[in-house]
Amino acid sequence: MTPSTGYALEIVNLKKAFGGLPVTQDVTLSIRPGERRLIIGPNGAGKTTLFNQITGDMRPNSGQIRLFGTDVTQFTPYKRAHFGLSRTYQIITLFAQDTLEHNVTLGLLGLRPSRWQMWRPLSYYGDLTSEARRTLDSVGLLHLAAHPVSDIAYGEKRRVELAMALAQKPRVLLLDEPLAGLSNTERFAIKSLIAAIPRETAVIMIEHDMDTALDLAETVTLLNYGRVIVDGERDKVIADKRTREVYLGT
């Protein structure tokens, strides 16, 4: 175990390629506890791939990932979740045919769907079912607990996923395009939930909707072709000539 550095998350010289095509190129980043970081960059810049390596869903080719000073590069996603890391996905990962309550209960365990044991009755999970109901209540969806996920609206699914990630009381939370595809009303609801996240949680958010996301961000990282192009305090990154060239197209 390496000694604590004071950072919530550190990424050091991370590299990842798919079939010889580099998608993470020497990425080095440090996130402080409680920081609000926005990750921007064009489609295919490697944003989601970076998240996948932080969570352990994908292994980097080289480099290191540290959570609160501990090298977690070789840890499984499950072990990282127990280390205070939680995420939402760009694509909804709830089980459509299963009830909201069952989805949330299993999600609270920090389990990936592949590890879910669907044959176990909810009673097997004891206290977690009441926590699942509290989680649904926190996003105003308790009345739908017994409904299959396929019955509820897209924006409601997004709320459930965010509430599930938050119920794990993460110290580092990764949000992959939480506002994508939402109506104005739904966007407002999700934005309020994100704004209310406790300060002890560091939030790292990938988002294309800059108008909404910039309000929530203190620092911004611009990625392009898997590289960090600009990184730092929000207004400085937005004013940077390279940001306008790469992302804003002006």
Ligand X SMILES: Nc1ncnc2c1ncn2[C@@H]1O[C@H](COP(=O)(O)OP(=O)(O)OP(=O)(O)O)[C@@H](O)[C@H]1O
Q: Which of 11, 31, 41, 110 binds ligand X (CB under 6 A)?
A: 41
Asked if residue 181 binds ligand X (CB under 6 A), the reply is no
Residue type, 40: I
- Kindly list the distances between the CA atom of residue 237 and the CA atoms of 42, 195, 218, 227, 249, in Å, as whole numbers in the listed order: 15, 21, 10, 15, 15
Which residues lie across from 131 on neighbouring strands? none
Instruction: Look at residue 44 and give the partner it binds from Mg ion, ligand X, none, a contact being a CB closer than 5 to 8 Å depending on partner kind.
Output: ligand X
The piece of 47-55, 93-101, 157-165, 237-245 that touches ligand X (CB under 6 A) is 47-55
Residue numbers at the binding site for Mg ion (CB under 5 A): 47-48, 90
Burial 89-111 (b: 16+ CB within 10 A, else e): beeeebbeebbbbbbbbbbbebe
The piece of 40-48, 135-143, 187-195, 211-219 that touches ligand X (CB under 6 A) is 40-48
Residues in contact with ligand X, counted by CB under 6 A, come to a total of 11
Asked if residue 16 binds ligand X (CB under 6 A), the reply is no
- What's the rounded Cα separation, in Å, for the pair 201 and 194? 11
Q: In which residue are the tokens 């944003």 written?
A: 47
In this complex, which beta carbon is closest to Mg ion, that of residue 48 or of residue 224?
Answer: 48
Q: Which of 6, 44, 181, 198 binds ligand X (CB under 6 A)?
A: 44
- What's the rounded Cα separation, in Å, for the pair 147 and 93? 16
Neighbour tally for 88: CB within 10 Å = 22
Q: Which of 36, 37, 48, 157 binds ligand X (CB under 6 A)?
A: 48
Which positions lie near ligand X, rule CB under 6 A? Answer: 18, 23, 41, 43-49, 90
